[in-house]
């Protein structure tokens, strides 16, 4: 396990897309995705700053298979599937970043790419973190090989000291070993790997 400095005032826990549709019973379930929830709840108690991201798609988007994309319909705004997992301990006033709201891919909590024009637009996450004086970001949630990876790589690119909590994430593995490849890509992109279990 990598030795890291204790969690401090300038650290943030970034919880990515722990939503019903990405957990067992959802439309795009990550295998054992719900198993990250108790650990994330324990972790959140140790951080002063916590932000949640949510996929929040319109009913039709080039992101979906029915509209030319690769994914089944999931996390449509204001539906059960887009809601946070019911066991996730999320106070009503915790900051939330909703992404993919206008048909963008919504993989990263920081940026979204329009699948038609290819243009990248920023979410409100970076200014939120800058205003709070955040220096280090610890990323957890779903799914390792898509939204966790994209969010962590963007955080590192933007200059945040970035770690992924490797036991508080889970992969879709659309192709075998996608999760393992994502971990390597994040490591190569300057992201540190932590284990979330704190003894």
Residues 61 and 105 sit within 8 Å (Cβ to Cβ): no
Phi/psi at 125 (nearest 5 deg)?
-70, -45
Q: Any catalytic annotation for residue 17?
A: yes
Nearest to 50, CA basis, from 111, 20, 94, 4: 94
Q: Any catalytic annotation for residue 184?
A: no
Q: Any catalytic annotation for residue 161?
A: no
Identify the active-site residue in 147, 149, 154, 161. Answer: 147
182 to each of 4, 66, 100, 185, 187, how far by Cα in Å? 22, 26, 21, 5, 9
d(CA 160, CA 138): 10
Identify the active-site residue in 17, 34, 55, 161. Answer: 17
Identify the active-site residue in 23, 55, 99, 149. Answer: 99
| 133 half-sphere exposure, CB direction, 13 A CA radius | 4
Annotated catalytic residues are: 17, 99, 147
């Amino acid at each position: 396990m990598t030795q890291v400095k204790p969690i401090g005032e300038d650290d943030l826990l970034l919880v990515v897309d722990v939503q019903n549709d990405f957990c067992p019973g959802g439309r795009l379930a990550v295998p054992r995705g719900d198993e990250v929830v108790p650990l994330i709840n324990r972790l959140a108690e140790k951080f002063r700053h916590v932000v949640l991201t949510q996929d929040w798609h319109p009913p039709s988007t080039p992101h979906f298979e029915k509209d030319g994309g690769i994914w089944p319909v999931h996390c449509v705004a204001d539906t059960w599937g887009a809601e946070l997992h019911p066991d996730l301990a999320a106070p009503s006033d915790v900051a939330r970043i909703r992404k993919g709201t206008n048909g963008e891919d919504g993989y990263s909590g920081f940026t979204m790419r329009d699948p038609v024009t290819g243009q990248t637009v920023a979410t409100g996450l970076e200014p939120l973190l800058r205003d709070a004086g955040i220096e280090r970001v610890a990323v957890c949630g779903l799914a390792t090989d898509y939204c966790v990876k994209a969010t962590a790589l963007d955080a590192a690119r933007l200059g945040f000291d970035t770690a992924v909590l490797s036991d508080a994430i889970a992969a879709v593995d659309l192709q075998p070993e996608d999760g393992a490849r994502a971990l390597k890509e994040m490591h190569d992109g300057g992201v540190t790997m932590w284990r979330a279990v704190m003894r």
